[in-house]
Amino acid sequence: MMESLYSPDTKTHDESRQGEAYALPVDASLQYKKHFYIESYGCAMNFADTEVVASILQSSGFGATKNVEDADLIFINTCSIREKAELSVRKRLTEFRSLKRAKPGTLVGVLGCMAERLKAKFLEEEKLVDMVVGPDAYRTLPGLIEEAGTGQKAVNVLLSRDETYGDIAPIRLNSNGVTAFVSIMRGCNNMCAFCVVPFTRGRERSRDANSILNECEELFNTGYREVTLLGQNVDSYYWNDEQNNRQVTFAMLLEKVALISPLLRVRFSTSHPKDITDEVLFTIAKYENICNYIHLPVQSGSSRILQLMNRTYTREWYIAKVNRIREILPDCGLSTDMITGFCTETEEDHQQSLSLMEYCKYDLAYMYFYSERPGTLAERRYKDDIPEPIKKRRLQEMVDLYRGHSLQSMQKEVGKTFKVLIEGVSKKSDNDLYGRNDQNKVIVFAKGDLKKGDYVMVKVESCTAGTLLGKAAP
């Protein structure tokens, strides 16, 4: 039984690229002090953080290696969102033990959300770990490496109210050279009862709009053609531009990024149903290069459960938002996150989640069964009272329902022609290319004379459950 379902082609969600190791552009002419290997788990924001970490390490004289056996420093950027995510990290750490034994002096550092959640306790639980570094402490990594090099354990898990790493140019890792993530904010002020993120990432803070625009412009000038603006709750982005005496909202930021060039596609994730505004929807409608795709996690279709989850909206409010999106953006792709088996969830609540999915007919859904997280509101207030087999059975029912919707969503595109941004060569055949349309659907088509980074009109001829298959229009 699967715990979650995700499209292998999207890179915007937690655990979608679990455990990916990175290849960096290594400058062979430089003499490096030490070599580091880094592996990342969790959401797109964690992957974006790894690119910041790589930048900090490289500018301090450390060189990257893709082979963990060659590394003097092994880093693992971790996720705490569900128990399963933490178990994968623990398992990986046991594999590092033998590497450390084979090469004494190798240092192991734990970064990210698990480091923040467990703090120094990590060192007691996992004896091979030398450094524990929280998401707001990456600037101190060079000092911590030095400290750990003397045989001491090094820990920095201080959370900050204003760190955004806005001035650090991330090193694009394993990049296709066409699409990139750009963090626009950090942390989260919402206290969803099930969620560990506010505890591992701290208070919400927005990044200087000018530094975001500079990064996007730089990406465009070096050949990138799509940016995805990242935050746990992008609609609450808010930057006080003191120099020009004005405030920048998310809708304004979207517009500014869209104006960099009509050839630069703009995506964003994640939107919270309570915060997404008409202004944002009208901005999407106004600019052809802002993609018609919204990830609007609902979590449950039962207003009673939504209240226990502290999501601050009801089923009716959510449906009204979806209706509004479809009114202003009739072709908009829509996706969601769902949790089954949250505390006290009855069969009737579960049926309401299914009926909401039936109403919304999501193009993409990420579905999970509830995993109690230490320290969260739900852990402190409620009993995790739904037995795991029931959580999993409900999840399977949800996955089955969703599969029908996603297939319908793909089938309805057959015969249509879409503008596609080419991202690279198809995994299945060197003779084919792949890219995505405005609504985030993956399309595969014959290569011809086309190359990645180009836009092309593609007519869809058939589909599978996850991919559209087409032909480039002459």
Instruction: Determine if 192 is a binding residue for ligand SF4 (CB under 6 A).
Output: yes
Range 159-198, binding ligand F3S (CB under 6 A): 196-197
Structural contact between residues 49 and 138, judged by C-beta atoms closer than 8 angstroms: yes
Nearest to 123 by CA among 99, 102, 144, 98: 144
Instruction: Determine if 230 is a binding residue for ligand SAM (CB under 6 A).
Output: no
Site string for ligand SF4, 237-276 (x = CB under 6 A): -----------------------------------x----
Range 60-79, binding ligand F3S (CB under 6 A): 79
Assign 206 to helix, strand or coil.
strand
Shortest Å, Cβ 376 to ligand SAM: 7
Q: Which of 14, 126, 130, 423 binds ligand SAM (CB under 6 A)?
A: 14
Instruction: Determine if 14 is a binding residue for ligand F3S (CB under 6 A).
Output: yes
- State how beta strands 34-40 and 73-78 pair: parallel
Residue range at the interface with ligand SF4 (CB under 6 A); choices 59-67, 86-94, 188-196, 392-400: 188-196
Across-strand partners of 419? Answer: 457
Under 8 Å CB-to-CB from 333, ≥6 apart: which residues?
A: 292, 293, 294, 363, 364, 438, 439, 440, 441
Burial label, 205 (beta-carbon count in 10 A; 0-12, 13-18, 19+): buried
Instruction: Determine if 186 is a binding residue for ligand SF4 (CB under 6 A).
Output: no
Q: Which is nearer to ligand F3S, 112 or 470 (CB)?
A: 112
Assign 107 to helix, strand or coil.
strand
Instruction: Determine if 234 is a binding residue for ligand SF4 (CB under 6 A).
Output: no
Site string for ligand SAM, 178-217 (x = CB under 6 A): ----------------xx-x--------------------
Residue range at the interface with ligand SF4 (CB under 6 A); choices 127-135, 193-201, 321-329, 409-417: 193-201
Q: Which of 370, 418, 434, 445 binds ligand SAM (CB under 6 A)?
A: 370
Instruction: Determine if 190 is a binding residue for ligand SF4 (CB under 6 A).
Output: yes
Instruction: Determine if 197 is a binding residue for ligand SF4 (CB under 6 A).
Output: yes
Find the radius of gyration of the CA atoms of the chain: 22
Range 76-105, binding ligand SAM (CB under 6 A): 81-82
Q: Which is nearer to ligand SAM, 193 or 468 (CB)?
A: 193
**Rounded to whole angstroms, how far apart are CA atoms 74 and 460?**
45
Structural contact between residues 42 and 89, judged by C-beta atoms closer than 8 angstroms: no
**Rounded to whole angstroms, how far apart are CA atoms 474 and 471?**
9
Under 8 Å CB-to-CB from 55, ≥6 apart: which residues?
A: 168, 169, 170, 171
**Rounded to whole angstroms, how far apart are CA atoms 145 and 150?**
9
CA-based angle 63:68:70, to the nearest 5?
Answer: 60
Structural contact between residues 52 and 111, judged by C-beta atoms closer than 8 angstroms: no
Site string for ligand SAM, 33-52 (x = CB under 6 A): ----------x---------
Instruction: Determine if 339 is a binding residue for ligand SAM (CB under 6 A).
Output: yes
Under 8 Å CB-to-CB from 8, ≥6 apart: which residues?
A: 16, 466
Q: Rounded to the nearest 5°, which phi and psi values hold at 373?
A: -115, 130
Q: Which of 24, 57, 71, 113 binds ligand F3S (CB under 6 A)?
A: 113
Structural contact between residues 21 and 38, judged by C-beta atoms closer than 8 angstroms: yes
Residue 198's binding partner out of ligand SAM, ligand F3S, ligand SF4, none, with CB under 5 to 8 Å set by partner kind: ligand SF4
Give Cα separations from 417 to 86, 145, 266, 460 (angstroms). Answer: 43, 53, 20, 6
**Rounded to whole angstroms, how far apart are CA atoms 109 and 290?**
38
**How many residues make contact with ligand SF4 (CB under 6 A)?**
9
Helix (H) or strand (E) holding 279: helix 278-286
**Rounded to whole angstroms, how far apart are CA atoms 468 and 21?**
29
Shortest Å, Cβ 135 to ligand F3S: 8
Q: Which of 58, 78, 228, 232 binds ligand SAM (CB under 6 A)?
A: 232
Site string for ligand SAM, 279-318 (x = CB under 6 A): ------------------x-x-------------------
Instruction: Determine if 233 is a binding residue for ligand SF4 (CB under 6 A).
Output: yes
Q: Which of 75, 199, 368, 402 binds ligand SAM (CB under 6 A)?
A: 368
Residue range at the interface with ligand SF4 (CB under 6 A); choices 125-133, 149-157, 189-197, 340-348: 189-197
Dihedral sign, CA of 188, 318, 356, 286? negative
Instruction: Determine if 80 is a binding residue for ligand F3S (CB under 6 A).
Output: yes
Instruction: Determine if 115 is a binding residue for ligand SAM (CB under 6 A).
Output: no
Q: Which of 114, 129, 185, 188 binds ligand SF4 (CB under 6 A)?
A: 188
Residue 339's binding partner out of ligand SAM, ligand SF4, ligand F3S, none, with CB under 5 to 8 Å set by partner kind: ligand SAM
Per CB under 6 A, residues contacting ligand SAM are 14, 43, 81-82, 194-195, 197, 232-233, 270, 272, 297, 299, 337, 339, 368, 370-371, 373
